[in-house]
Amino acid sequence: MAIKKRTAIIVTERHRQLEGFWEILLLIFSLSGIVLAIMQIFLLKPFGFMLVENAYYYCLLAIYGSLTFIIFPASKSIPKRKNSLL
């Protein structure tokens, strides 16, 4: 019988693998950012008003900037499988 040699592959990732609530939150925020960008590009006014250019940029920054803190851990000591807040 031949002895099978098992090799371990160590993968280092800079981001977390989101699951459950966090994955749904990521999808909702991403879709809302895309919808906001489409509304701004094509000058759509679904609610009767359109955001001023600076307000549009701040909304995009709030949507995508907040996701950064959920996806990437604050320090190397925080486990990547555990979300530190909830």
Which run of H or E residues covers position 63? helix 53-71
The ranges assigned to domains in the chain are: 35-73
Select the more confidently predicted residue: 2 or 7: 7
Condensed to tens digits (0 to 9), the pLDDT of residues 18-75 reads 888 889 999 999 999 999 999 999 989 888 888 888 999 999 999 999 898 888 877 7
Query: Which SS3 state, helix, strand or coil, does residue 34 take?
Result: helix
In whole angstroms, what separates CA 19 from the centre of its chain? 12
Instruction: Assess contact for 32 and 63: CB atoms under 8 A.
Output: yes
pTM of this prediction?
0.69
Measured CA to CA, the distance from residue 61 to residue 79 in angstroms comes to: 26
Confidence tier at 81 by pLDDT (50, 70, 90): low
Q: Scan for tokens 């990437």, then name that residue.
A: 72
